């Protein structure tokens, strides 16, 4: 998941006091590092396995399409903070490039309905992203338009994670969740973003509310993973002896 941290203006950080500046800087660094690793992780957990198997298997591309759109929205949201928000802007642009790569690998090796759905979704997201970018850069929409779009798109990401958590809580199949390392990184990123938004001056309520929800969802995902990964598989019933 891309970084949700949008650094405050330099004047706000300077007026916040030494302690608050330390918290802001620390959460910014930790959140952005987690975001970088999260952006690169699917190279090894998604793209390379598909490449080596020459097939997509039961993998889906929906998460990467959603992350692509979220990265575009978060980039536009942070654009007014340039140059103070350069790191976050760079991470979101990098995420856009990598998500396009992951989607391209999926489409190349997918077949039939899976490929068509991926193409339709990608076309829809690219058209929508172009429209939103044009509206934001030409400033023909209200100033709160981009923050709302960023909140909505990122909410969908967390909702999709929440749906997976509920399914795994019911069926116990943790292989349908992200690897534990990615879950911990996602939790770290959401927590760091929440801390940054609450300590910013003024507080960034758009990100504060969203990342608080994100922390809750990621904690639920971690709990479900730990509970079900430690469960022993049910023993298969013994076959009844064949009577002579």
Q: What is the pLDDT of residues 20-64, one digit of tens each?
A: 778 878 888 888 888 888 889 899 989 999 999 999 988 888 888
Which two three-digit tokens encode residue 231?
């469960």
177: closest CA among 217, 128, 121?
217
Q: Does 202 sit behind a cis peptide bond, omega within 30 degrees of 0 on the bond before it?
A: yes
- 242 domain-assigned: no
- 177 domain-assigned: yes
- 4 domain-assigned: no
- 181 domain-assigned: yes
- For the ranges 43-52, 152-161, 188-197, the one whose mean pLDDT is highest: 43-52
- 59 domain-assigned: yes
| pTM greater than 0.85 (yes/no) | no
- 5 domain-assigned: no
Enclosing domain of residue 84: 10-229
| Block residue for tokens 């958590």 | 165
* Side-chain-facing half-sphere of 171: CA atoms under 13 Å: 10
Domain count, the chain: 1
Dist CA 243 CA 58 (whole Å) = 42
- 235 domain-assigned: no
- 243 domain-assigned: no
């Amino acid at each position: 998941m891309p970084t949700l941290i949008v650094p405050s203006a330099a004047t706000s950080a300077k007026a916040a006091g030494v302690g608050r500046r330390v918290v802001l800087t620390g959460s910014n660094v930790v959140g952005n590092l987690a975001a970088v690793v999260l952006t690169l992780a699917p190279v090894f957990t998604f793209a390379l396995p598909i490449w080596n198997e020459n097939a997509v298997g039961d993998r889906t591309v929906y998460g990467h399409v959603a992350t692509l759109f979220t990265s575009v929205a978060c980039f536009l949201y942070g654009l007014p903070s340039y140059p103070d928000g350069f790191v976050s802007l760079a991470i979101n642009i990098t995420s856009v490039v990598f998500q396009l790569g992951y989607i391209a690998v999926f489409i190349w090796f997918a077949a039939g309905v899976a490929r068509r759905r991926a193409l339709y979704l990608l076309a829809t997201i690219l058209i929508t992203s172009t429209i939103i970018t044009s509206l934001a850069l030409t400033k023909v929409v209200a100033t709160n338009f981009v923050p709302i779009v960023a909140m909505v798109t990122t909410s969908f990401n967390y909702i999709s994670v929440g749906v997976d958590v509920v399914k795994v809580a019911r069926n116990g199949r943790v292989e349908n969740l992200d690897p534990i390392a990615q879950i911990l990184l996602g939790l770290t990123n959401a927590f760091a973003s929440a801390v940054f938004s609450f300590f910013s001056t003024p507080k960034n309520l758009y990100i504060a509310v969203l990342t608080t929800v994100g922390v809750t969802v990621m904690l639920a995902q971690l709990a479900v993973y730990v509970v079900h990964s430690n469960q022993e598989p049910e023993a298969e019933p013994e076959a009844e002896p064949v009577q002579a």
